[in-house]
Structure 1
Amino acid sequence: MEFIVDNVDKTMDIGVQIGKLANSGDIICLIGDLGTGKTHITKGIAKGLGIDEHITSPTFGIVNEYNGRHKLYHFDVYRVNDPDEIEAIGFDEYIFSDAVSIIEWANYIEELIPVEHLSITIDKLPEIGENYRKITVNFNGNKYDYVKEIKI
């Protein structure tokens, strides 16, 4: 599925819809360049999960934890130089738990991502306008069929 958005509110709205539909144990992979909106999607997902805390990207801490309808683990693996680093923090214990796991820069650790996951790629569209983004949502595994309900 593809969505073209022209502002942060629409980006976050897609996240809110995903968060409202997300289930225990979901793994959501975010891919996109710096400044494309990965953290805004995450803020929306958190809001959809009923999390009222201020969401920030855990760039230096690798993972932040939040409590809502489901626990949320928010990973940022941008600064991970070797997949062994992320494994050392118990990555498998996090993503194979009952929490919803969001992984920013998931393409950096592809070999550690389970086959069954939701993937969201965000691309800038400067040829249309400065704030335009193409959000591509793909899922691997039937448990993520709920994304078919997303509308903007």
Structure 2
Amino acid sequence: MSESLLDLSARRPDGSALPLAEFRGKVLLVVNTASRCGFTPQYAGLEALQRRYADRGFTVLAFPCNGFAGQEPGDDAAIANFCSTTYDVTFPILAKIEVNGTGADPIFRHLKHAAPGALGTEAIKWNFTKFLIGRDGRVAGRYAPATAPEKLSADIERLLAEPG
């Protein structure tokens, strides 16, 4: 398994590859998202973090997932439209993926292995699980779905203060 998330690629909604190496030297917050979840209002908090820290080298990466109670049923275009019109999201909304099971996206397999959850489980328990990634591409923290984005500010500040 890769030691750095930056060795992997995501898929944009248009199907093209987004090499995560493009984010080398940045602090990332990777989140599995859904448009019809009780945590969906966290998009506002994620966007607030994006706007607060973007000019310092921070980016949120959202990975929509329909794996939890069918809470992300739309296609990539519908998801992007929802995020833009409802929450004025400016960070990347990537192509819909799976985060658990045999079809789990390699990015989430990497994240879960690098930062297991409670009791060492690697499974993602619900939408809006968050992974904070340092400038070196290594996982610096995993946060539960109920953790509000604004609660991550101190950890983001700490990583932004580290040399790239």
The TM-score with structure 2 as length reference comes to 0.30
Which structure is higher in strand share?
Answer: 1
The TM-score with structure 1 as length reference comes to 0.31
